Amino acid sequence: MADYLTVLPKALLQEIIIKATAKLAWRDPYVLYDLENTVQTLLSVRGTCKILRESSDFRDVYRACHVDELPDLVASSPEVARFVDSLFISRNLDVLFLRGIRTMFMEGTYSKGLKLVEEAMEAENPKGTYMFCILKLLNGLHLESDDVERVFRFLGPLKENGDMV
């Protein structure tokens, strides 16, 4: 199989890998959806051959990988933990948001976690935007007029977002 892959341009292979790990708008109702499915799919692709491993080791591929929930890194293999770290280093928006939430509420480092959620928000991650804005509004006593304008500017586009309905 690898012989056929050597003639394909690396950019095309990366596009195929991104499509294979992307979140589908439509899901087959007869197939059980696994929260770690895209992570496992990308790990499987990387384990297939050297060419796919090299093609998938690319920032755009890591950023496109959709993650609904962080895997339990204690129960997962070291390979999964390293892979999630690669997603974080590549600034995957889902992982930034989820790590921010974990840092704020489970590790007790609120300001550090809020910065990660804010980074996800500024990159237009809808969940990060909603969480950041709600937390800012809940902190209303210390909210300045510039902060209020910023919050409403970011909340506005969420009305049209299907994921947030």
Domain ranges (residues) in the chain: 1-90, 93-165
Number of Cβ within 10 Å of residue 95's Cβ equals 24
Task: Identify the pLDDT of residue 32.
Answer: 52
Per-residue pLDDT of the chain (165 residues; tens, 9 = 90+): 556 767 778 788 888 887 777 665 445 555 555 545 667 777 777 777 777 777 777 777 777 777 777 777 667 778 777 878 888 888 888 888 888 888 888 888 888 888 888 888 888 888 888 888 888 888 766 767 777 777 777 777 777 766 655
Angle at 98 between CA 76 and CA 92, to 5 degrees: 90
Task: Identify the pLDDT of residue 27.
Answer: 53
Task: Identify the pLDDT of residue 35.
Answer: 47
The owner of tokens 């993650």 is: 67
Please report, for residues 64, 66, 90, 162, 163, the alpha-carbon distance to residue 25 in angstroms, rounded to integers and kept in the order given: 14, 12, 24, 10, 10
Task: Identify the pLDDT of residue 102.
Answer: 87
Nearest to 8 by CA among 54, 77, 62: 54
Task: Identify the pLDDT of residue 74.
Answer: 66
Nearest to 43 by CA among 67, 74, 26: 67
pLDDT in tens, 108-132: 888 888 888 888 888 888 888 888 8
pLDDT in tens, 77-94: 787 778 788 888 888 888
* CA–CA dist 19, 10 (Å, integer): 14
**Rg for the chain (alpha carbons), in Å?**
18
Task: Identify the pLDDT of residue 64.
Answer: 76
* CA–CA dist 84, 64 (Å, integer): 13
The number of angstroms, rounded, from the C-alpha of 108 to the middle of its chain's C-alpha atoms is 22
